[in-house]
Amino acid sequence: MSTTLPPRTTAPAPPAPERRSAAELVLRVREFVIGAALAVLILVTWLVNHSFLDDQGVKDLLLNAAILVLLATGQSVVVLTRNIDLSVGSVVGLSAFACGSFVSGTDHGPALVLLLGIALGTCCGLISGALVSFGKVPALVVTLGMLYVIQGVGHAWAHGDQINASDVPDSVLTLGSGSVLGIPYLPLISALVLAATGYFLRTYRSGRQLYAIGSSPEAARLAGIPVRRRTLAAYAFSGAVAGFAGALWLARFGTVVADAANGWELTVVSAVVVGGVAITGGVGTVWGAALGAMLLTTIGSALVVLKVSAFWEQAITGALLLAAIATDRVVRTRSTRALRKRRRD
């Protein structure tokens, strides 16, 4: 009795690694490039004026970037889902004024102020998120409308008044001016929020799902990802961070008006996009967004030291934004072509 052995099959050779295009390399090193540009900018400014990096100069750089880094962190989570939040600046203003009104002439501690700011911002974020995720209204329309609604509420509430630093408890002001081991509280708080958000996005399944939603909302829905709930949570987080930043704004400056941080919406979006978070969603990290925020604030400080017109700050920011969007577009186009070619092969 003879047995017939099945013919031997040889495993197909693994495909040869594709040569990475220059655009893909640029995408991988975007954060490194931003960090290098930031270091060069600081070095050049210090060579012109050595006081730029003295103790007070370093503290000013950290304090100026702290709130923008916070807002960029919250905005990144929304942009990753292929959405946008243009109401963060108005939320900061409303939160700062509301917290100032709450503590004015009292002895309330900073914990209550921060909780109030977070609660107010979360409510604003939930409204925007519900309209975008469940109402299916375009995010640009919803958040632009929320921007004007919140500004209107703030102006109607304030009636042109302002909160004076003399009426704010010293414990709250200490949060904005105090330091530990020579490092101001605000940058430390921003760093903690940034690190926690980055860890969540990288480690937890719900964090990774935000990337999947931004890459392809329809594919994410077919994969069983609760797209609406995740989008709502992203907006709630962005609003909470903006409200939290508003409370810190009060602690930092003491004297606030209802339209504090007016116009910061585009600055926040610019920081996020320059930092490598694709405006089309699904790509980027909060670390890159933080570097983008630090780069933009440092540009403003450096131009003052270098005695350059403030007009150039806006021009440079616009140029960086256009360059980042163009780079993302090239990378996405090259990646799509490479994927189609791989499928044909």
For residue 212, is pLDDT > 90?
A: yes
pLDDT of residue 339: 55
pLDDT of residue 300: 86
Q: Is the dihedral of CA 96, 255, 312, 69 positive or negative?
A: negative
Which of 123-127, 157-161, 325-329 shows the lowest per-residue confidence on average (mean pLDDT)? Answer: 325-329
For residue 166, is pLDDT > 90?
A: no
CA separation for the pair 186, 181 (Å, rounded): 13
Encode pLDDT of 93-148 as tens digits. 999 999 999 998 888 889 999 999 999 999 999 999 999 999 999 999 999 999 99
pLDDT of residue 293: 93
Q: Considering the domain 51-333, what is its CATH architecture?
A: Orthogonal Bundle (1.10)
The pLDDT-based confidence of 255 (bands split at 50, 70, 90) is: confident
pLDDT of residue 11: 42
pLDDT of residue 343: 64
Which of 2-6, 119-123, 157-161, 248-252 shows the lowest per-residue confidence on average (mean pLDDT)? Answer: 2-6
Q: For residues 32-47, give the mean pLDDT.
A: 87
pLDDT of residue 118: 96
Give residue limits of the domains in the chain. 51-333
Q: What's phi and psi for 180, nearest 5 deg?
A: -130, 125
pLDDT of residue 29: 67
pLDDT of residue 345: 61
Higher pLDDT, 206 or 105: 206
Q: For residues 21-44, give the mean pLDDT.
A: 72
If you compute the radius of gyration of the chain from its CA atoms, what whole number of angstroms results? 23
For the record, the structure tokens of 136 come out as 């299916």
Higher pLDDT, 28 or 10: 28
Which of 234-248, 253-267, 282-296 shows the lowest per-residue confidence on average (mean pLDDT)? Answer: 253-267
Counting residues of the chain whose pLDDT is more than 90, the rounded percentage is 48
Residues 6+ apart with CB under 8 A from 236: 122, 125, 126, 129
Encode pLDDT of 274-311 as tens digits. 888 888 888 888 999 999 999 999 988 888 888 887 77
Higher pLDDT, 345 or 293: 293
Instruction: State which of 9-23, 56-70, 226-240 shows the largest mean pLDDT.
Output: 226-240
Q: For residues 38-67, give the mean pLDDT.
A: 88
Q: For residues 313-317, give the mean pLDDT.
A: 79
Q: For residues 171-178, give the mean pLDDT.
A: 89
Q: What is the 3-state secondary structure (H, E, C) of the chain?
A: CCCCCCCCCCCCCCCCCCCCCHHHHHHHCHHHHHHHHHHHHHHHHHHHCHHHHCHHHHHHHHHHHHHHHHHHHHHHHHHHCCCCCCCHHHHHHHHHHHHHHHHCCCCCCHHHHHHHHHHHHHHHHHHHHHHHHCCCCCHHHHHHHHHHHHHHHHHHHHCCCCECHHHCCHHHHHHHHCEECCEEHHHHHHHHHHHHHHHHHHHCHHHHHHHHHHHCHHHHHHCCCCHHHHHHHHHHHHHHHHHHHHHHHHHHHCCECCCCCCCHHHHHHHHHHHCCCCCCCCCCCHHHHHHHHHHHHHHHHHHHHCCCCCHHHHHHHHHHHHHHHHHHHHHHHHHHHHHHHHHHC
Rounded to whole angstroms, the maximal C-alpha distance in the chain is 103
